[in-house]
Structure formats: structure tokens, C-alpha cells
Chain A
Amino acid sequence: MTGKHSLATYGIAFFIILTLNFFLPRMMPGNPLMAIYGDEALVAMTPALKTHLIARFALDQPLWQQFGAYIAGLFRGDLGWSYFYNAPVLKVILGSLPWTLLVVGSSLILSTMLGIILGIESGWRRGSKTDRAMLAGLMSLNGFPDFFLGLVLLIVFGVLLKLAPLSGALTPYSGLSGLALVLDVLKHMALPVAALTIAHLAGGYLLTRNTMITMLKAPFILTARAKGLSQNVIKYRHAGRNSMLPVLTMTGIWLGRVVTGALFVELVFAYPGVGQLTYQVLLARDYPVIQGVFLMVAISVLAVNFAVDLLYPKLDPRVSHAH
């Protein structure tokens, strides 16, 4: 994985996502309306709503016209209608998205930075006791599913020590504002972020450590030592700077993992983000929202991957001047 994907890759990925989203419900037995909404919802629907939905998504038209209407809808920002919430899907998702962005963003930044620093330190001391302990420890953590880590944190800090709130993103009806509100938000997100960060630390750590070990054998490290530079300058400016690059190319891929991790962790902490929403709509079989979540998550991961690909040449001079 070099992090270099062509535009075609993104095009194909985008196409696969759309196709799945469009054809999957229509491949199910029964008429499309039933397939999209499920039979329970259908029974409860008013005839007026049914006709409105059929017209809106061209469900009585041939498949290719339905597809056209679907794509056109997407460009208008119309992801469908949630029966369960009785609101447009986009609106439902946008309501929970900020919380997920907050948690995912914080954990991604934290786990990448910590992973890089630990990887640099561990690689520098390769073969030492500290290195071995760190390697075994972080690899073990890597085995812990994020939702189990979340549950352990919840029980230890929430239930037993009562240091953190058990659920939610805010204290309900507290009427907090300003700094107090910020602190409240931080207190609620601490455990979910910690669970995700710990669970996803190992990727960055292992990659940085491996690169670091290779980098330390590079001739320019000898140059740096000969120059009489201090240990930290050699470790971070010379070896570390080079060891970071492969990690950055992986952030896009890791984002996908952290986002899916967040789906589970939010459930554990009843955190009102996209994960919690997914759980709710899965229970309620509100298929349009499931589809919408899938689309939003998949496309944002694609977008970040794409951004990393565009950014990488700016970080590694060897790539940017290759031609």
C-alpha cells in the first residue's frame, strides 16, 4: 500500500457503493416499496404516503428510470424518507453526524499521533526490554475489539469508579453554556474517544516502528550522528520525520476502521452519533436510513482517502518532484 490510488479507483469504489445501495433492496422479493421499507412499515403506511413515495422515487417506472431518479435525488441531497423518524434521511443523519465526527476525529488524531510517537520511541530502542514490552502490549491491545474495550472502560470508570458519565453526549436538561458546556462535552466523550484511541493505536505504532527500524540503518542517520546532533534531533528530525510518511498514507484506510469502530463504541456509551442511529434504525428496520448511513460513511471515507492521496506529495519531497 503506497497510498497512491488513481482517480479511476475512486470512481469504481463510488460506483460499487451506489450500485449496492440501489440494487440491493430491489433484488429482494416483493415490490420495490416493500423491499425498501420492509413489510411492517408498509402495513402502517397511509395510502397517500405510499403514492407520494412511489412517485418521488419513480418506483413504478422501469429499473433504469428508477436509477436515474435515484442519482438525481442524490445530487439534490435527497437520500430518501425515513418512515421511523418521519423525516428526510439526510436530516436524520445530519442530526447525529457532528457527534460522530467529534469522536472519530479526536480518536483518529490522538491514535495517529500517539502511535507515531510510541513507534518512534520503540523503534529507537529496538530489541530493548522497553521495546519488547511495548510491542507485546500494543499488539495485545490491538486484539481487543473496540466495543469490548469500551465496555471495560464503561464498567471501570463509569460503573465502578463513577468518574465518567454512563451515557449520552451531554448532561440532559442541564442548561449548561460556555466553558461548562465544553467541559460537559469533553467529559462525555472522554471514554468513547479513549476506547477508540486505544483500540486503533497499534496500527500507527507498528507501522512507525517497522519503518523506524529500517530508517535507523539508513546512511543519513550515520551522517546525523557524525554531525554531533543530539539524540532527540536524530530521533525525531532525521529518523522520525521519514518514518511518519507511510503512516500518513494509511490514515485514510484507518479512518474507515475508526468510523466503523465508532458505530460499535457509540452503542456501548449510548452516544448519540451515527452509530447509535444505525443501531436504532437496524432495530426499527428503517432501511432508507441504513442506506443513507452506508452512503455517507462510505463516501466520507473515500473523500478522506482521496484527500490524503492529494496531500501526500506535499509531505514527501521525493514523490512531488518525481516527474
Chain B
Amino acid sequence: MLEIRDLRVTYGNDVVLNGVDLDLADGETLAIIGESGTGKTTLGMSIMRLVEAKVQGSIRFNGEDLLFLPDTELQEIRWNRIAMLFQNVNNVLNPVHTVLNQVAEPMIEHKLRSKKEALVKAGELLTKFGLPPKRFSAYPHQLSGGEQQRVLLSMALANDPDLLILDEPLSSLDVTTREELGNLLGMINGHRAKLVITHDLDTASRLSEKLAVLYGGKIVETGLTQQVLRYPRHPYTRALIRAYPNMTTVKDLQGIKGRMMRPVSGCPFHPRCTQAIEKCSQEIPLLTQSQGRLVACHRGGIITLLSVVNLSKSFDSLKAVDSVSLHIEAGETLALVGQSGSGKTTLAKTIMGLYSPSDGMIYLEGKEVANKGRDFYKQVQMIFQNPGESLSHRLSVLELVMEPMEVQRIGTKEQRQKKAIQTIGEVELPQTEDFLNTYPHHLSGGELQRVAIARALVLNPDLLIADEPTAFLDASVGAKILKLLLNLQERRGLSMLYITHDIAAARKISDRIAVMLDGEIIEEGPSNEIVTAPKQAYTKRLLSSASALHLSCYS
């Protein structure tokens, strides 16, 4: 019923929507999500032709192009066919008219009902949406936010529209009202199509079947809501989910590097994207089919950085790693959890090439890795359990961090020095002359691990394999190291294979968890699912024995 093609909205020189395509069928609910400033409200307003801007493209509503409709016909379509549940901001209702009159007004003005009938109908709607009759003659400022939202909802449905645009329908409400209004909104389905505009993933997942993610005036990903939120394919979608506080995901919150800029040539997200390539800044990606949904990304969505297929490693008769398959996406943390002796360190070392595999394949960005040369180590780095062992005590901090670049023969000495000092700053170590000339035995455990991380990072790797990096550290120092890794991931888009025996730490830092037992991966999935709904008995055991503060309540 609604068909938007190549919609462009420009305020002066500011391109707010830059070629949006959308389809909405009868009875369907589509959510548009995105941060503030991505143009989602403008999209809703454009459909009602309420924007004071240059609008190009086409918005077909039941075959008629709304953009070319004369004002009188448009006036008929507004509210009768397309209505809007406005975002509940101050003064969205007229402060000097009673709410009953405001709900009845569109019915009267569109001559759907007589004034008397309209008031009765308005009363019915308000009652249905939970406003007690004694509040009908109230003025908007006398109502609570939740009550105002009920009025706005009654008003939106007064003329029984075919398409309802809901702009942030549940924002700015307290949790219980949210719940109730969310249910009411769910009830009003029927034949009606709904477009939910929100920055709130909870609202989107509650109300919609389909989801479109808007960024920089373009749709970057669209598909079924459940699938998009569970396995985001576009880097922006994933970043949005990671930044959203909720009870479902267990990983710590992460922001998105940089800030939104307009105008941007090429892909609107590329300045903030961690997997951008040269093409991204030159060409605007089109929405293309990718694993069951549409994604606008030159790299086909989030790329798979490393994949391991049927990898095995035997020491004599002992199969330490038994036909393991796993993959790590760009910018993702995969936690490999298992008790000591489960083969997880062997697996890591095999991937790193410290052991040669007995069987199986390793692919890096889709290319088979056969002989691990310098190029491989430029992309994949590892930090070890015991930093004291991995750092030579004969080299100063500066020399330690410069060493990988010397091995890789990168740059001149000055360049290497500069880069090393910069990286030392990035891992939050002091950049003073004194510190740079310190030798490892003068450093604390936390400092040593940071130097080790700096050594790994100085080559700008895409994948960091971290083998129990906090095992030798106090809890408070370990927590700082974990935070540092998360921050580095946010800034650099680093992928991580995080190896630990501690599932409590894993859930804080990882997107996915793979559980390893006796050389095999027995369970793998999104961290929240592994933590809340484990399938394997062993995983359940890991969880129940994981660290917890065993508090009981005395009353």
C-alpha cells in the first residue's frame, strides 16, 4: 500500500534523506530505527508531507503519488487515510483546548460525524485506551505523560486510518505505562499498516515484524525484526545494538567511534565503520540481498575475518583439538570457554601457527592460510596469559613495543618510535621518557599486560587472540584490562578471540560464546543465549559454578 522510491529530502544544503526505498503492505508493521539525526522523523513527516524542505522521489500510497497531490486532496488523505501518533513532546496537543475536543476535532472537520456523535466516539476511544471519563474535559497540561499518550493514540485512530505512523510511541514513558501502552498498540493491528519510528530497539522489537535501519539518510539494513536484531549484518546495526542498554544482551555497552557527519561521500557510515575499504568512501552501496535480508554494504555486511574448518591437532595419540570449526566476524569478540585441558590454548596456538595443525583449514578474510608469513602476523596477534614471560627482560618498554615493527620492517626508526609511543598512550600507559626507558622487572602485572597489548596492537592487527590475559592479575587490574580491550574494539573495530575458563568474564566482553570440552566445541551461540538458556549439561555446570556473590536476604 505504501511504496517509497528514491526519497530525497533536502533542507537547504543539508541532505537529510538520501534515496530511501521502502515498501509496506496492508496489515504490516515496519519499524524504522536509527539514532537522532538519521532522518527517521523526517521520513515519517515526508509521508504526511509535513516537511518544510525540498522533497524528491516518489511516495506512492495505494498507487497515488502523495508528493504530487494537490493540497485539497492531501487534506482529505491526512488523518482519514494516514494518521500519525506524534511523539509526546511538550505542546504537541494544543494547550487551550480540552482533550476530548481535540480527539473529536478531526472527525468533525472531515465531516465524518456530527459534532455530537464525534464527541461520543471520541469518548469511546479515550475510554478504550484507558483515560477515565472524568479526565475528558481536562486540558493537556493537566494530564500525565502516559495520559497524554493515550489521548494522542485515541486521536490518531479517530478517523480509522489505513496507515498509522507512530513516532517514538513509547519513549518518555515510565516502564509500567510503557508496558501497558505497548500492549494497547499491539491490539490495534487489523488491516492497518503501521510504521513505527523509533530509536528504541525495545519498542521496535515489541511492535514490528519488519525492521529498517536508517543511517545518514539511507537505509543500511532491512529484514525481519527478529533476525536483524539477533544477527545484525550491517556494522551500524550491530553497533546500535551494542550501544543499547537492555536486559537481553550481556556484553558491556559500547559506543560507536566518531560521530555522525553529513554530507559524506560514498557509504554514509564509512567514517565510523571499522571495516571500511577504499571503495566505501567513493561509491554509495546499494541494498543487496545478503543472507536472507537486504544490506547496503560494499563488503556484503559484516565480514568474516577468520574461519577455522575441521581443525584438529594431535599430540601423539592425544587429540587436543578435535575437528573444530568456528568463525570470527570483523569487530566481534568470540569467547572460547572451557576448563583447563579442554584444548582451548592449543587451538589458539594452532591458529597462531605456533603448532602446525594435524588436519583442517584456516581462512583469513576468506583466503586460505597455508604458510603463515609476515603478512599473517600483521593481521593476527596474540597476547599471553603471563605477560612476564612473553616480554624479554633485556629490552626497555619502548624497545619492546618497537620490536614487532622492526621484525616486520615497517618505517624508519623515527616513525617506529613515534608509532610505539602513540600506541603506549593508547593502552593508557604514561608516555614519559622515564617510563619508556623502564625495564619489565620494574613494572606491575597490569602494566606488563598493557605493554604486551601495546606490542600486539602496534602492527594494527585485525584479530587479537587473548589467552587468559587477566589470569595473573588482581580483579581490579583485570577489570581495567578488560575495559581497555572493549575500548580498543570500539575504536579500532578489533576482532577478538578471547580465551578463558571464566564464563562470568566472557559474558561481559563477548558477543558470542563457544564452549569447549575435550578438544571439541560442544555449544556455540550469542552470549546471552548461552548464559540464559544453555543446552548442554556441561555449559550449565560451568554457569552454576561460575563466580557469583552468594547473597541471601535476612528479613
On whether A and B touch (CB less than 8 Å), the answer reads: yes
Min C-beta distance of B271 to chain A, whole Å = 32
A219-B92, A226-B48, A228-B75 given; A321·B141 CB < 8 A? yes
When distances are taken between beta carbons in the complex, the residues of chain A under 8 Å from B110 are: 228
Min C-beta distance of B40 to chain A, whole Å = 16
Residues B54-81 near A (CB distance < 8 A) = 74-80
Whether A230 and B95, one on each chain, are in contact in the complex, defined by CB atoms closer than 8 angstroms, is no
Whether A226 and B109, one on each chain, are in contact in the complex, defined by CB atoms closer than 8 angstroms, is no
- Check if A318 is an interface residue, CB within 8 A of chain B: yes
Give the nearest-CB partner of A220 in chain B. Answer: B94
Residues A203-221 near B (CB distance < 8 A) = 218-220
A317-B139, A321-B141 given; A220·B95 CB < 8 A? yes
A219-B89, A318-B141, A321-B142 given; A226·B83 CB < 8 A? yes
- Check if A19 is an interface residue, CB within 8 A of chain B: no
Whether B105 and A229, one on each chain, are in contact in the complex, defined by CB atoms closer than 8 angstroms, is yes
A219-B91, A219-B92, A238-B94 given; A228·B109 CB < 8 A? yes
Whether B96 and A223, one on each chain, are in contact in the complex, defined by CB atoms closer than 8 angstroms, is no
Residues B69-126 near A (CB distance < 8 A) = 74-80, 83-84, 86, 89-97, 105-106, 109-110
- Check if A222 is an interface residue, CB within 8 A of chain B: yes
Bound CA–CA A213/B48 (angstroms): 23
When distances are taken between beta carbons in the complex, the residues of chain B under 8 Å from A228 are: 74-80, 106, 109-110
Min C-beta distance of A202 to chain B, whole Å = 25
When distances are taken between beta carbons in the complex, the residues of chain A under 8 Å from B89 are: 219
> In the complex, how many residues of chain B place their beta carbon closer than 8 angstroms to a beta carbon of chain A?
30
Whether B106 and A242, one on each chain, are in contact in the complex, defined by CB atoms closer than 8 angstroms, is no
When distances are taken between beta carbons in the complex, the residues of chain A under 8 Å from B86 are: 219, 222-223, 226
When distances are taken between beta carbons in the complex, the residues of chain B under 8 Å from A223 are: 86, 92-94
Min C-beta distance of A3 to chain B, whole Å = 16
Give the nearest-CB partner of B78 in chain A. Answer: A228
Residues A26-43 near B (CB distance < 8 A) = none
Whether B50 and A318, one on each chain, are in contact in the complex, defined by CB atoms closer than 8 angstroms, is no
* A interface SS class: helix
When distances are taken between beta carbons in the complex, the residues of chain A under 8 Å from B106 are: 227-229
Give the nearest-CB partner of A245 in chain B. Answer: B96
Whether B94 and A226, one on each chain, are in contact in the complex, defined by CB atoms closer than 8 angstroms, is no
Whether A317 and B94, one on each chain, are in contact in the complex, defined by CB atoms closer than 8 angstroms, is no
Whether A226 and B50, one on each chain, are in contact in the complex, defined by CB atoms closer than 8 angstroms, is yes
Give the nearest-CB partner of B72 in chain A. Answer: A230
Min C-beta distance of A208 to chain B, whole Å = 15
The listed residue (B90, B95, B109, B139) touching A227 by CB distance below 8 A is B109
- Check if A241 is an interface residue, CB within 8 A of chain B: yes
Whether A317 and B95, one on each chain, are in contact in the complex, defined by CB atoms closer than 8 angstroms, is yes
Bound CA–CA A241/B94 (angstroms): 10
Whether B96 and A242, one on each chain, are in contact in the complex, defined by CB atoms closer than 8 angstroms, is yes
Bound CA–CA A237/B142 (angstroms): 20
Min C-beta distance of B150 to chain A, whole Å = 15
A220, A225, A227 — which one has the most chain B CB atoms within 10 A of its CB?
Answer: A227
Bound CA–CA A224/B76 (angstroms): 13
Bound CA–CA A199/B81 (angstroms): 49
Whether A222 and B50, one on each chain, are in contact in the complex, defined by CB atoms closer than 8 angstroms, is yes
Bound CA–CA A126/B552 (angstroms): 68
- Check if A233 is an interface residue, CB within 8 A of chain B: yes
When distances are taken between beta carbons in the complex, the residues of chain B under 8 Å from A218 are: 91
A43-64 CB mask vs B (1 if < 8 Å, else 0) is: 0000000000000000000000
Whether B78 and A316, one on each chain, are in contact in the complex, defined by CB atoms closer than 8 angstroms, is no
Bound CA–CA A238/B105 (angstroms): 11
Give the nearest-CB partner of A322 in chain B. Answer: B141
Whether A226 and B79, one on each chain, are in contact in the complex, defined by CB atoms closer than 8 angstroms, is yes
Whether B93 and A220, one on each chain, are in contact in the complex, defined by CB atoms closer than 8 angstroms, is yes
The listed residue (B90, B97, B139) touching A219 by CB distance below 8 A is B90
Whether B95 and A242, one on each chain, are in contact in the complex, defined by CB atoms closer than 8 angstroms, is yes
Bound CA–CA A220/B77 (angstroms): 19
The listed residue (A227, A237, A238, A321) touching B78 by CB distance below 8 A is A227
Whether A227 and B79, one on each chain, are in contact in the complex, defined by CB atoms closer than 8 angstroms, is yes
Whether B105 and A227, one on each chain, are in contact in the complex, defined by CB atoms closer than 8 angstroms, is yes
Bound CA–CA A233/B97 (angstroms): 13
When distances are taken between beta carbons in the complex, the residues of chain B under 8 Å from A317 are: 95-96, 139, 141-142
When distances are taken between beta carbons in the complex, the residues of chain B under 8 Å from A318 are: 95-96, 139, 141
Residues B172-210 near A (CB distance < 8 A) = none
Bound CA–CA A224/B93 (angstroms): 9
Bound CA–CA A239/B74 (angstroms): 21
A218-B91, A219-B89, A222-B86 given; A321·B75 CB < 8 A? no
Min C-beta distance of A287 to chain B, whole Å = 49
Residues B123-141 near A (CB distance < 8 A) = 139, 141
Min C-beta distance of A314 to chain B, whole Å = 12
Bound CA–CA A241/B74 (angstroms): 25
Bound CA–CA A80/B443 (angstroms): 102
Bound CA–CA A156/B96 (angstroms): 45
Bound CA–CA A275/B87 (angstroms): 57
When distances are taken between beta carbons in the complex, the residues of chain B under 8 Å from A226 are: 48, 50, 78-79, 83-84, 86
Bound CA–CA A218/B84 (angstroms): 17
Bound CA–CA A90/B83 (angstroms): 65
Bound CA–CA A321/B135 (angstroms): 14
A223, A225, A316 — which one has the most chain B CB atoms within 10 A of its CB?
Answer: A223
Chain A residues proximal to chain B, CB less than 8 Å: 218-220, 222-230, 233, 237-238, 241-242, 245, 316-318, 321
Q: Pull 9 A–B residue pairs with CB atoms less than 8 Å apart, ordered by A.
A: A222-B86, A223-B92, A226-B78, A226-B84, A227-B83, A228-B78, A228-B79, A242-B94, A316-B96
CB-CB nearest 4 A-B residue pairs = A228-B78, A317-B139, A220-B94, A219-B92
Q: A227-B83, A242-B96, A317-B95 are in contact. List 14 more A-B contacts (CB 8 A).
A: A219-B92, A220-B95, A222-B50, A222-B86, A223-B86, A223-B92, A225-B78, A226-B50, A226-B83, A227-B155, A228-B110, A229-B105, A230-B109, A241-B96
